[in-house]
Amino acid sequence: MNATPPSLSAYDRLRARFRRLALIEEAASVLHWDTSVTMPRGSAEARAEQTAALAATAHALLTAPEVAEELDSAEASAHRLSDLDRRNLALMRRRYRRATALSPDLVEAAARANSRCEAAWRDARAASDFAAVAPSLEEVVRLARDTAAALSAATGLAPYDALLDGFQPGLTDARIAQLFAPLERDLLALLPEVEAREAALAPAIPLPGPFPAEAQRRLCRMLAERAGLDFATARLDESTHPFCGGTPTDTRITTRYDEADPAPAILGVLHECGHALYERNLPRAWAHQPLGEAAGMAAHESQSLIIEMQACGSDAFLAWLGPRLAEEFGGPPEAYAPTNLARLWRRVRRGFIRVDADEVTYPLHVILRWRLERALIAGELAVGDLPSAWNDGFARLFGLTVPDDRRGALQDIHWYDGLFGYFPSYTLGAMAAAQMMAAIRSAIPDLDGALAQGDLSPLVAWLVAKVHAHGSRFGFDELVAAATGRPLDPAMFIAHLRARYAPLPSA
User: Is residue 390 within 8 Å of residue 372, measured between CB atoms?
Assistant: yes
CB 456 within 8 A of CB 228: yes
Name the DSSP letter for residue 102.
S
Backbone angles phi, psi at 67, to 5 degrees: -65, -40
Measured CA angle at 303 (ends 297, 309), to 5 deg: 120
Catalytic residue among 70, 108, 272, 373: 272
* Integer Cα distance of 349 and 406 in angstroms: 19
Q: Which residues contact 325 (CB under 8 A, 6 or more apart)?
A: 207, 219, 262, 336, 341
- Give the strands of the sheet with 234-238, arranged side by side: 234-238, 250-255, 244-247
Could you confirm whether 272 is annotated as catalytic? yes
Angle at 239 between CA 233 and CA 240, to 5 degrees: 155
| Measured distance CA(407)–CA(357) in Å, rounded | 12
Strand intervals (E) in 229-330:
234-238, 244-247, 250-255
Classified as helix, coil or strand, 249 is coil
> Which residues are identified as catalytic?
272
